[in-house]
């Protein structure tokens, strides 16, 4: 009990320091999230240890952090209003597929050539590609939230943040399934892969539909908010219950929150939706800070100094894949020029999802191919630190070059 109280105090202190660091960074006209990221690394177990392993690995913290991921999902879902998205639906879907698969192909091809030349198993290149296509939505969304961006790039990015997670998880787990079969380890059946990729969305759709039905009968703003919060807890609770039955927790709670809020947001009035979000926006901002701290604290800044050529190649190849894939998708769907030119920069943040995928890849390689596990772990861990600092800056510049900073009216992002 004493350890939990100590960890809670450390967490609150870390949040306060991160917020202060964000405000200081903002004075330099840089995104506050850069301050949160740097503060998280400095306070993590590899530096000062204020956010130590006992806290980051604590079941209560993981529960709270997953719940806050659901809250961050509200930021995405409440912007996915069908009446506003109908015209851009095809464009968003096509661009998501081209930027995801484009990244997978570029990174896999580059490392495939390198590994062929250096006598390293080529299947490792496809794992690199599978990890590379994932985008961590929280950093770019925090830029949207902080700088009140609005315009074609923002309106494309927000729904893509949700779809990109689905495409990324689907491709990665399919690659893992094939590599597992190749290594003769316990194979993952493809139907099981598909089920767990889409299960968070199914949970959110069901609870969101029930919430929307109830919200149609609420009369006051307080009752509307109360129903939404209770049902959000129910959605997360279902996710926790399913995760507890699995050998390894795999459900994406941000996707639960996103799909939950997408469904009910399309069933209520605009007045109800705006009333809820006026109250929730400060809570979403707080949730983003905690999510970024959780993402940054495990990053070891020492890896910056030990990063090798594979790390540099990975960062560059992934950036080329994301940018060119987004540009191609936006071009063939006749998206606005700003989307073609600048969307790719907002898709560069990566580390949270990449580290989860890396852990899974290492777990299947450790036994049959430990040397491959070491290559992938060292490369991605170093890339996570270096890429995230560069990517947050470039995401902000992408919105700036697109002319979308401070264009949103009121508190919402889009």
DSSP secondary structure string, 174-198? HHHHHHHHHTTS----HHHHHHHHH
User: Could you give the CA distance from residue 280 to residue 75 in angstroms, rounded to a whole number?
Assistant: 9
Element (H, E) at 360: helix 351-365
User: Could you give the CA distance from residue 20 to residue 30 in angstroms, rounded to a whole number?
Assistant: 14
Three-class DSSP category at 118: coil
Tens of pLDDT, residue by residue over 303-362, are 666 567 888 999 999 999 999 999 999 999 999 999 999 999 999 887 666 766 777 787
DSSP 292: H
Dihedral of the alpha carbons of 104, 109, 112, 117, in degrees to the nearest 10: -160
User: Could you give the CA distance from residue 405 to residue 202 in angstroms, rounded to a whole number?
Assistant: 34
> Residues 6 or more apart from 402 whose CB is under 8 A from it?
151, 152, 153, 338, 339, 341, 342
Show the CA angle centred on residue 154, arms to residues 149 and 159, nearest 5°. 135
At residue 299, the pLDDT reads: 72
Tens of pLDDT, residue by residue over 351-371, are 666 766 777 787 778 777 888
Tens of pLDDT, residue by residue over 142-177, are 788 888 898 999 988 888 876 777 788 788 878 887
At residue 384, the pLDDT reads: 75
CA atoms within 13 A on the CB side of 200: 29
User: Could you give the CA distance from residue 155 to residue 393 in angstroms, rounded to a whole number?
Assistant: 20
User: Could you give the CA distance from residue 310 to residue 313 in angstroms, rounded to a whole number?
Assistant: 5
Name the one residue in this structure whose structure tokens are 């772990």.
Answer: 377
At residue 413, the pLDDT reads: 42
SS3 for 85-144 is: HCCCHHHHHHHHHHHHHHHHHHHHHHHHHHHHHCCCCCHHHHHHHHHHCCCCHHHHHHHH
Mean pLDDT, 10 residues at a time, the chain of 414 residues: 83 92 83 82 87 86 89 80 70 90 95 93 92 80 84 87 76 82 62 76 94 88 88 94 80 85 88 84 86 79 70 93 95 93 90 70 77 82 78 90 81 43
Is 59-401 in CATH node 3.40.50.1000?
A: no
Quick count: other Cβ atoms within 10 Å of Cβ 408?
18
- Asked if 382 and 308 touch (Cβ cutoff 8 Å), the reply is yes
User: Model-level pTM?
Assistant: 0.69
Q: Which two tokens stand for residue 244?
A: 């507890």
Q: How far is CA 191 from CA 12, 121, 205, 206, in A?
A: 42, 27, 20, 21
At residue 190, the pLDDT reads: 63
Q: Minimal CA–CA distance to 72: which of 173, 210, 165, 211?
A: 165
At residue 169, the pLDDT reads: 77
- Asked if 7 and 61 touch (Cβ cutoff 8 Å), the reply is yes
The residue ranges of every structural domain in the chain are: 59-401
At residue 411, the pLDDT reads: 45
Q: Minimal CA–CA distance to 347: which of 167, 157, 165, 146?
A: 157
User: Could you give the CA distance from residue 26 to residue 19 in angstroms, rounded to a whole number?
Assistant: 10
């Amino acid at each position: 009990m004493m350890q939990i109280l100590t960890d809670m105090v450390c967490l609150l202190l870390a949040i306060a320091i991160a917020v202060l660091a964000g405000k200081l960074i903002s004075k330099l006209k840089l995104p506050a999230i850069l301050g949160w990221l740097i503060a998280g690394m400095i306070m993590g177990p590899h530096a000062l240890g204020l956010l130590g392993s006992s806290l980051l690995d604590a079941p209560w913290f993981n529960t709270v952090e997953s719940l806050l991921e659901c809250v961050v999902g509200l930021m995405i879902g409440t912007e996915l209003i069908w009446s506003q998205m109908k015209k851009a639906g095809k464009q968003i879907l096509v661009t998501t597929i081209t930027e995801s698969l484009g990244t997978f192909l570029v990174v896999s091809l580059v490392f495939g050539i390198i590994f062929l030349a250096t006598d390293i198993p080529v299947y490792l290149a496809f794992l690199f590609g599978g990890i590379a296509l994932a985008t961590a939505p929280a950093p770019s969304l925090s830029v949207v939230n902080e700088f009140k961006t609005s315009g074609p790039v923002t309106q494309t990015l927000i729904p893509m943040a949700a779809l990109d997670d689905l495409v990324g998880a689907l491709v990665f787990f399919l690659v893992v399934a094939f590599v597992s079969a190749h290594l003769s380890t316990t194979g993952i059946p493809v139907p099981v892969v598909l089920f767990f990729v889409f299960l968070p969305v199914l949970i959110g759709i069901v609870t969101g539909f029930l919430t929307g039905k109830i919200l149609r009968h609420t009369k006051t703003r307080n009752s509307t908010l109360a129903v939404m919060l209770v049902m959000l807890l129910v959605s997360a609770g279902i996710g926790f219950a399913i995760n507890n039955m699995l050998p390894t927790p795999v459900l994406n709670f941000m996707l639960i929150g996103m799909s939950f809020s997408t469904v009910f947001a399309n069933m209520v009035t605009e007045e109800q939706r705006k009333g809820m979000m006026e109250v929730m926006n400060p809570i979403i901002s707080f949730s983003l800070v905690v999510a970024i701290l959780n993402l940054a604290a495990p990053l070891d800044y020492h890896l910056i100094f030990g990063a090798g050529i594979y790390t540099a190649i990975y960062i560059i190849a992934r950036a080329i894949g994301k940018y060119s894939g987004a540009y191609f998708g936006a071009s063939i769907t006749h998206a606005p020029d700003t989307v073609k030119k600048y969307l790719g920069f907002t898709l560069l943040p990566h580390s949270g999802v990449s580290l989860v995928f890396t852990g899974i890849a290492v777990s299947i390689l450790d036994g049959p191919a430990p040397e491959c596990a070491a290559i992938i772990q060292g490369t991605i861990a170093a890339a996570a630190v270096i890429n995230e600092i560069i990517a947050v800056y470039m995401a902000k510049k992408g919105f700036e070059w697109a002319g979308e900073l401070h264009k949103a009216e009121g508190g919402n992002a889009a």
